[in-house]
């Protein structure tokens, strides 16, 4: 950061450390009155944490509006509503700074963490302290460390503080040091209220973060927040906006991962709701990122069977490839181990019933080894072949404990390696092959009993014959 000659006027010796520099930037201390903010450049004071500065800091943290008011009214303290604290060292609040310049003061070193009283009040939800500081003409858009108080209030989810700051003139479109506007940072239980306030006060619904080039709708998709996405869409958010990696909000939603098996059901439900919202609003179901990965590829990778069914209902191509030549079925079978909690057999079954090209027989042993803990995934794959295409030594690919746990299924599987499939199964294969081009549409229209129809659609029986 460079300083103008006027700011550095009066310096006769070389610049010392950063605290000495700050102390010399201005000449005349202010009076501590409410009129200070109109007085032009004022002093930056550095002092220890044993006097009024510490008392001021503690009062701000506690939300003690009476003590904050008393300290500000005491001109002898030299403290003001636009004071800047350096809290880089939390063990001793060493640096106290007062600055009333209109320009944002950025950190002089990467180690600094600068904060104003307004930031403290906004981040902690101390609404009365916030109002007091603004009455003393604290500048709502000061960002000594790159963030304004509005960023802090949004990130903490304090909607009442967001409202007070916006009414006081805070700019909802100022980016922070990471290039995020307040609308990108809304979190907490009041996320919807904060976002709507920002939009009503002029926040740009499609503002972009600096590096990722994400819009708030991208953020809502990553959070899996259906209501926030709906709000942004009602305010005209661009459905198919692309970030720096070419990802649309729908791509992000389909790539939602489960943090744990216990979280799988809730995660899939949110993902489905969000995808249904985006698609019904007109999102491109075939939008591809820079690697030509599409929503179907990503939903298969994460094992979101309901989302896969939804995308297939929108007519997406089941066999379209990414740049690496991988189809949706490849993604489903190469997904992470965590996809086991998502019942991957349902994804594989849906793809095969919509005409997915079968796995190359030579790759079946590798698939068996990877997915042996999900016997239904193996079952649905094997039921698309008229002949069991596994070598006899494939039994060694399944751990003994898995063989024991699913004894009935694996016994039938390895028995069929040496025997022909049943006539019933061969008839199923023949009919599916005949209807291959229109399989998903033709099967439901056949005048067949439900049980037979389900059989043709590869329903699970937990045994092979």
Using pLDDT thresholds of 50, 70 and 90, give the confidence band for residue 188: very high
Residue 103 lies in a domain: yes
Give the distance, in angstroms, between the CA of residue 455 and the centroid of all CA atoms in the same chain: 40
Residue 162 lies in a domain: no
Q: Are residues 74 and 115 part of one domain?
A: yes
Report the CATH number at residue 264.
1.25.40.20
Q: Is the pLDDT of residue 18 over 70?
A: no
Q: Are residues 250 and 118 part of one domain?
A: no
- 119: number of Cβ within 10 Å: 25
Q: Is the pLDDT of residue 39 over 60?
A: no
Distance CA 142, CA 289 (A): 38
Higher pLDDT, 250 or 21: 250
DSSP 79-126: --TTEEEE-SSTTS--EEEE---SS----SSTT--EE-HHHHHHHHT-
CA atoms within a 13 Å half-sphere pointing along the CA-CB vector of 360: 6
**Which tens digit of pLDDT belongs to each residue from 404-455?**
999 999 999 999 987 889 999 999 999 999 988 788 888 888 898 999 999 9
Residue 196 lies in a domain: no
Percent of the chain past pLDDT 70, that is, above it, reads 82
Q: Is the pLDDT of residue 153 over 50?
A: yes
At a CB cut-off of 8 Å and minimum separation 6, what does 242 contact? 213, 248
pLDDT score of 252? 97
Q: Are residues 91 and 44 part of one domain?
A: yes
Residue that terminates a domain, selected from 122, 146, 170: 146
Residue 352 lies in a domain: yes
Distance CA 70, CA 228 (A): 41
Q: Is the pLDDT of residue 7 over 60?
A: no
Residue that terminates a domain, selected from 118, 146, 174: 146
Distance CA 355, CA 436 (A): 6
Q: In what order do the strands lie in the sheet with 83-86?
A: 95-98, 83-86, 114-115
**DSSP summary character for residue 436:** G
Q: Are residues 418 and 448 part of one domain?
A: yes
Q: Are residues 121 and 50 part of one domain?
A: yes
Average confidence (pLDDT) over 308-313: 96
Q: Are residues 133 and 1 part of one domain?
A: yes
Assign 3-state DSSP to the chain and report helix, strand, coil percentages, each to 5.
50, 0, 45
Using pLDDT thresholds of 50, 70 and 90, give the confidence band for residue 145: confident
Q: How far is CA 60 from CA 43, 94, 441, in A?
A: 21, 16, 66
Which segment of 103-112, 151-160, 317-326, 388-397 scores lowest on mean pLDDT?
Answer: 103-112
Q: Which residues are paired to 97 by β-bridges?
A: 84
Q: Are residues 429 and 403 part of one domain?
A: yes
- Which of 11-20, 139-148, 246-255 holds the top average pLDDT? 246-255
> At 18, phi and psi to the nearest 5?
-65, -30
pLDDT score of 94? 40
pTM over 0.85: no
Decide if 215 contacts 183 (C-beta within 8 A): no
**Which tens digit of pLDDT belongs to each residue from 41-100?**
223 434 344 678 888 888 999 999 999 999 999 877 778 898 888 776 544 444 444 443
pLDDT score of 198? 98
At a CB cut-off of 8 Å and minimum separation 6, what does 357 contact? 319, 327, 329
Question: What range does the domain containing 384 cover?
Answer: 364-465
Q: How far is CA 8 from CA 27, 95, 103, 107, 178, in A?
A: 10, 20, 15, 17, 29
Residue 177 lies in a domain: no
Q: Are residues 313 and 271 part of one domain?
A: yes
- Which of 24-33, 95-104, 402-411 holds the top average pLDDT? 402-411
Average confidence (pLDDT) over 194-205: 98
Average confidence (pLDDT) over 162-177: 97
Residue that terminates a domain, selected from 314, 334, 357: 357
Residue 227 lies in a domain: no
- According to DSSP, the β-strands at 95-98 and 114-115 are unpaired
Residue 221 lies in a domain: no
Q: Are residues 137 and 17 part of one domain?
A: yes
Q: Are residues 395 and 327 part of one domain?
A: no
Percent of the chain past pLDDT 90, that is, above it, reads 65
Residue 161 lies in a domain: no
Distance CA 407, CA 401 (A): 9
Q: Are residues 261 and 127 part of one domain?
A: no
Count the domains in the chain.
3
Q: Are residues 328 and 371 part of one domain?
A: no
């Amino acid at each position: 950061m460079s300083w103008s000659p006027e700011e550095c006027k009066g310096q006769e010796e070389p610049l010392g450390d950063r605290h000495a520099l700050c102390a010399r930037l201005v000449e005349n201390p202010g009076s501590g009155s409410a009129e200070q903010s109109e007085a032009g450049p004022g002093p930056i004071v550095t002092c220890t944490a044993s006097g009024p500065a510490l008392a001021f800091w503690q009062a701000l943290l506690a939300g003690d509006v009476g003590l904050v008011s008393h300290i500000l009214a005491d001109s002898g303290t030299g403290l003001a509503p636009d004071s800047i604290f350096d809290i880089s060292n939390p063990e001793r609040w060493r640096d106290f700074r007062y600055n009333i310049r209109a320009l944002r003061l950025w950190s002089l070193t990467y180690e600094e963490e600068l904060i104003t009283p307004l930031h403290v009040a906004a981040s902690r939800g101390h609404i009365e302290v916030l109002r007091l500081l603004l009455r003393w003409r604290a500048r709502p858009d000061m960002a000594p460390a790159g963030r304004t108080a509005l960023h802090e209030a949004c990130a903490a989810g304090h909607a009442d503080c967001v409202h007070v700051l916006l009414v006081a003139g805070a700019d909802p479109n100022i980016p922070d040091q990471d290039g995020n506007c307040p609308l990108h940072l809304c979190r907490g239980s009041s996320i919807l209220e904060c976002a709507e306030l920002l939009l009503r006060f002029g926040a740009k619904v499609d503002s972009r973060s600096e590096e990722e080039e994400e819009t708030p709708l991208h953020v809502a998709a990553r959070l899996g927040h259906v209501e926030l996405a709906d709000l942004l869409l009602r305010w005209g958010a661009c459905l198919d906006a692309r970030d720096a990696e070419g990802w649309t909000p729908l791509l992000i939603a389909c790539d939602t991962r489960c943090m744990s098996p216990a979280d799988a059901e809730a995660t899939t439900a949110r993902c489905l709701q969000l995808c249904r919202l985006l698609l019904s609003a007109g999102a491109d179901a075939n939008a591809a990122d820079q690697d030509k990965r599409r929503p179907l590829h990503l939903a298969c990778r994460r094992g979101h069977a309901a989302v896969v069914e939804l995308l297939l209902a929108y007519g997406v191509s089941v066999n379209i490839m990414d740049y690496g030549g991988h189809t949706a079925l490849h993604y489903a079978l190469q997904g992470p181990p965590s996809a086991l909690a998502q019942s991957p057999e349902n994804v594989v079954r849906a793809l095969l019933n919509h005409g997915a090209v079968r796995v190359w027989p030579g790759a079946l042993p590798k698939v068996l080894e990877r997915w042996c803990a999900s016997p239904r995934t193996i079952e649905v794959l094997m039921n698309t072949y008229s002949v069991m295409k596994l070598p006899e030594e494939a039994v060694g690919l399944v751990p003994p404990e898995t063989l024991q746990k699913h004894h009935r299924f694996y016994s039938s599987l390895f028995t069929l390696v040496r025997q022909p499939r049943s006539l019933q199964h061969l008839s199923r294969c023949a009919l599916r092959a005949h209807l291959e081009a229109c399989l998903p549409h033709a099967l439901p229209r056949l005048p067949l009993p439900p049980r037979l129809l389900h059989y043709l659609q590869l329903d699970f029986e937990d045994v092979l014959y």
